[in-house]
Amino acid sequence: MSMQLNGADDSLGKQRAAHKHGATSRAEVRLLYAPLPANGLATTKFTMHDTVPVEKHDVTTMLNYWDDPGDGSKPTPIFIGKGRITNERPHRAHQFIITDISGDEDKYSLNRHGFQYCRHESHEKDFTDEHKIRTVYYRECEQLLKDVTGASSIRVFNHKVRRGPTQWHHLSLDNLTNRGPVTRTHVDQSYHGAELRLRWEFPHEADELVKRRYQIINVWRPIQTIWKDPIAVADASSVPDADLVGAEMTEDGYVGQSWVVRHNPNHRWYFKHGMTPQDVLFIKCFDSDELVARKSPHTAFQDPVYRDRESRQSIEVRCLVCYRD
């Protein structure tokens, strides 16, 4: 198993990791370096690879934003349970250009942009065995995040496998059995929602954990090469907090809060064209450190060239990332 990190974190404000991350040099090919974790010892085997220059595939498309009624009312709550999800929030489509970062992956980092790509080979291939996902794959993701961030501990709190059609929300009462891509701009946890999740997962330790740095990061991976409904991530610096609105969600007894996104033409959106199962995307949903990127809104979107391809298959693993100081 090997891991190749795209995107050496930039030093923004105070950095909590003990080591600077690797620099990048370019000739006709790109050499991508992995950072050392805070203890200087990587459990995951880091390797260095060449990537051949690729032709960019920027996409002009429509992204769905929350349709704010302007009267101060809150977004309609989402309910997840008994095999079904309800999402009755009104959205409005706005046109954007989604920039393909292929060949420039190392320019984007969790601390500066709120997202980051790396190359990583998993032992899991089809992700059909729930037990193996929760044991083998969870452990892989935990170690991968430790190596990337230098965190002291990782807690996976859930995962979502997506194989269903684009319009899966409108299927029958058991639509969760056909879970597909989320085609609405969102962040999985608001600032308040992140603390709710921390306290739910660590009820006895939370009072101490909130005094230190913690994050929520999704580990997103294709199960098959992605053509239809790829995932776009927004540069955190282009999305001010004023564009985000807290929205309640309930899942199997847990009441949390996510963010819906108000439209702003200044948002900058990115994706990697043709992601393979060896391409991992880290999406930051929350960071308690206010001096770095704290969140990256994200959404699936339609690429008109691949509209009629088979449904996207992907898995995301959602993780609480904790630090000693």
Question: pLDDT tens for residues 114-147?
Answer: 999 999 999 999 999 999 999 999 999 999 999 9
Over 70: is that where the pLDDT of 31 sits?
A: no
Q: What is the dihedral of CA 101, 105, 109, 112, to 10 degrees?
A: -40
Lowest mean pLDDT among 24-38, 228-242, 246-260: 24-38
Residue 32 is predicted with a pLDDT of 41
Would you call 26 helix, strand, or coil by DSSP?
Answer: strand
Query: If pLDDT is split at 50, 70 and 90, which confidence band does 297 have?
Result: very high
Residue 27 is predicted with a pLDDT of 31
Lowest mean pLDDT among 33-37, 66-70, 207-211, 320-324: 33-37
Residue 4: Cβ-neighbour burial (10 angstroms; 0-12, 13-18, 19+): buried
Query: If pLDDT is split at 50, 70 and 90, which confidence band does 37 have?
Result: very low
Angle at 86 between CA 80 and CA 230, to 5 degrees: 90
Query: If pLDDT is split at 50, 70 and 90, which confidence band does 261 have?
Result: very high
Residue 84 is predicted with a pLDDT of 75
Query: If pLDDT is split at 50, 70 and 90, which confidence band does 263 have?
Result: very high
Residue 88 is predicted with a pLDDT of 81
Residue 1 is predicted with a pLDDT of 56
- Distance CA(181)–CA(10), nearest Å, equals 31
Residue 246 is predicted with a pLDDT of 98
Question: What tens digit of pLDDT does each residue of 196-239 get?
Answer: 999 999 999 999 999 999 999 999 999 999 999 999 999 999 99
- Distance CA(218)–CA(154), nearest Å, equals 12
Over 70: is that where the pLDDT of 176 sits?
A: no
Over 80: is that where the pLDDT of 2 sits?
A: no
Over 70: is that where the pLDDT of 69 sits?
A: yes
Give the pLDDT mean for 248-261: 94
Question: What tens digit of pLDDT does each residue of 4-22 get?
Answer: 656 545 433 333 333 333 3
Residue 251 is predicted with a pLDDT of 87
Mark 37-72 as b/e (b = at least 16 C-beta within 10 Å).
bbeeebebebeeeebeeeeebebebebbbbebeeee
Residue 252 is predicted with a pLDDT of 84
Angle at 177 between CA 133 and CA 311, to 5 degrees: 85
Residue 35 is predicted with a pLDDT of 41
Give the pLDDT mean for 87-98: 94
Q: Are 281 and 210 in contact (CB under 8 A)?
A: no
280, 266, 292, 20: which is closest to 141 by C-alpha? 280
Q: How far is CA 62 from CA 59, 75, 96, 162, 185, in A?
A: 10, 21, 6, 21, 11
Q: Are 244 and 185 in contact (CB under 8 A)?
A: no
Q: List CB contacts of 323: < 8 A, sequence separation 6 or more.
A: 16, 150, 151, 152, 212, 213, 214
Q: What whole-number percentage of the chain has pLDDT above 70?
A: 80
Q: What mean pLDDT value characterizes the chain?
A: 85
Q: List CB contacts of 88: < 8 A, sequence separation 6 or more.
A: 76
| pTM of the predicted protein model | 0.86
Give the pLDDT mean for 292-302: 98
Residue 46 is predicted with a pLDDT of 40
